[in-house]
């Protein structure tokens, strides 16, 4: 976890500051003992000597006092300069270093298109990011918690330490050119607001929102979310299905478990793609097709191999490997 600004500053200056305090104590005690000065005069003389102000001597110094002053200068001035240098370096690093880091990160995000935006990097957001990473999809994480910055840098994540409810922040994350957005904040009200703002920025953005409370799913759908997922309900259903049909879960994997298993894939037939107008047997070969959802919402389960695909069809496949060739065929040809 990253240090807070105050803790980081103290970590840097604690030893120079301790040495400076000892030098100040040394000077005050010396002038009081050697010259017989009162405390305020000794403190004034020590401070003006350490800071090299040299405004005036409080009282005339004898030979012993002048030699002692030389020792105060030798010991203390270096410590003062060291402390001031460390503080100045900390200020510059905090301002310029962070600004440079933010600029580099923004340039990285500006180069993305067709990516995903993950709002919040808690347990759910982290799991979403890992799955996107495993699928080779580019994404940006938006979270206002500065304590997560170091962790995301170590994990190579593109991120913004900002509030995702602000329109300017979502635009900076590339919402106008993104493929999808995941509202993974643990507040349903915040997710509703994010969905509203994101939908206003990009009407074509596919928004998946997290819902924690009963009734929030309808509010999120009205706000513009395409899909609403409750982690608690989904995990409960999955656990029940695994308990009742453990063998099926070993064969069909909806997530990346690291085991040899088949995965559910979906391919949308776009206008002008190689899949449009072709039959399932011609375009997909022996790849098992579980169902086709047509643009009007009708679903054709277990379609025959001679079924012709139409523009807008969403094909649900069961595959054992990457279906990159099928995905490329579903996209329209480049001009």
- Asked if 10 and 4 count as a contact pair (C-beta separation under 8 A), the reply is no
What are the angstrom distances between the C-alpha of 8 and each of 4, 12, 211, 335?
6, 6, 38, 54
- pLDDT 10s digits, 31-53: 899 888 999 988 988 888 887 77
| Residue found under tokens 């072709």 | 278
Q: Tell me if 323 is assigned to some domain.
A: yes
Q: Which H or E run includes 82?
A: helix 63-92
Q: Tell me if 118 is assigned to some domain.
A: yes
Q: What is the structure's pLDDT at 326?
A: 55
Q: Tell me if 242 is assigned to some domain.
A: no
What are the angstrom distances between the C-alpha of 29 and each of 22, 23, 35, 79, 165?
10, 10, 10, 18, 59
Q: Which residues form the domain of 275?
A: 248-330
Q: Tell me if 335 is assigned to some domain.
A: no
Q: Are residues 229 and 257 in the same domain?
A: no
State how far the Cα of 271 lies from the Cα of 330, in Å rounded to an integer. Answer: 9
Q: Are residues 176 and 189 in the same domain?
A: yes
Instruction: Among 108, 131, 151, give the residue marking a domain's end.
Output: 108
- pLDDT 10s digits, 39-93: 998 898 888 888 777 666 777 888 888 888 888 888 877 787 887 787 777 666 6
Question: What's the first-to-final CA gap in the chain, in angstroms?
Answer: 48
Q: Are residues 202 and 296 in the same domain?
A: no
Q: Tell me if 241 is assigned to some domain.
A: no
CATH number at residue 59: 1.10.287.70
| Residue found under tokens 């085991």 | 259
Q: What is the structure's pLDDT at 323?
A: 52
Share of the chain above pLDDT 70, in %: 81
- pTM of the full predicted structure? 0.56
Q: Are residues 194 and 145 in the same domain?
A: yes
Q: What is the structure's pLDDT at 72?
A: 85
According to DSSP, residue 332 is labeled P
What is the CB neighbour count within 10 angstroms for residue 243? 9
Torsion of CA 139, 145, 146, 148, to 10 degrees: -60
CATH number at residue 252: 3.30.70.1450
Measured in whole angstroms, how far is the alpha carbon of residue 232 from the centre of its chain? Answer: 23
Q: Nearest Cα to 119, choosing from 20, 190, 29?
A: 190
Q: Tell me if 56 is assigned to some domain.
A: yes
Q: Sign (positive/negative) of CA torsion 324, 320, 294, 208?
A: negative
In the chain, the number of structural domains is: 3
Q: Tell me if 55 is assigned to some domain.
A: yes
- pLDDT 10s digits, 303-330: 888 888 888 888 888 765 445 555 555 5
What are the angstrom distances between the C-alpha of 165 and each of 169, 184, 254?
8, 12, 30
Class of residue 104 by CB neighbours under 10 A (exposed 0-12, middle 13-18, buried 19+): exposed
């Amino acid at each position: 976890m990253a240090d807070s600004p105050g803790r980081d500053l103290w970590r840097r200056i604690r030893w120079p500051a301790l040495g400076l305090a000892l030098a100040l104590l040394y000077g005050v005690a010396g002038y009081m003992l050697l010259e017989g000065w009162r405390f305020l005069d000794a403190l004034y003389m020590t401070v003006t000597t350490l800071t090299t102000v040299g405004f005036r001597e409080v009282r005339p110094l004898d030979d012993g006092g002048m030699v002692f002053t030389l020792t105060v200068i030798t010991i203390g001035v270096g410590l003062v300069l060291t402390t001031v240098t460390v503080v100045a370096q900390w200020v510059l690093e905090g301002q310029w270093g962070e600004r440079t880091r933010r600029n580099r990160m923004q340039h990285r995000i500006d180069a993305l298109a067709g990516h995903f935006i993950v709002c919040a990097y808690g347990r759910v957001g982290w799991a979403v990011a890992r799955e996107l990473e495993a699928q080779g999809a580019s994404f940006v994480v938006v979270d206002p918690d500065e304590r997560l910055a170091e962790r995301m840098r170590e994990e190579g994540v593109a991120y913004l330490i900002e509030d995702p409810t602000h329109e300017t922040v979502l635009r900076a994350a590339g919402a106008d050119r993104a493929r999808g957005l995941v509202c993974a904040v643990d507040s349903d009200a915040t997710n509703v607001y994010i969905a509203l703002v994101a939908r206003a920025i990009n009407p074509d953005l596919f928004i998946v929102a997290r819902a924690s409370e009963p009734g929030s799913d309808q509010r999120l759908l009205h706000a513009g979310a395409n899909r609403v997922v409750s982690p608690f309900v989904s995990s409960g259903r999955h656990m029940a299905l695994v308990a009742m049909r453990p063998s099926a879960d070993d064969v069909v994997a909806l997530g990346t478990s690291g085991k040899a298993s088949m995965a559910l894939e979906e391919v949308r037939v776009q206008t002008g793609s190689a899949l449009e107008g072709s039959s399932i047997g011609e375009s997909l070969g022996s790849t098992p097709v579980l169902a086709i959802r047509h643009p009007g919402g009708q679903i054709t389960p277990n379609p025959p191999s001679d079924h012709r695909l139409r523009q807008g069809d969403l094909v649900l496949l069961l595959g054992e490997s990457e279906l990159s060739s099928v995905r490329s065929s579903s996209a329209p040809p480049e001009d």
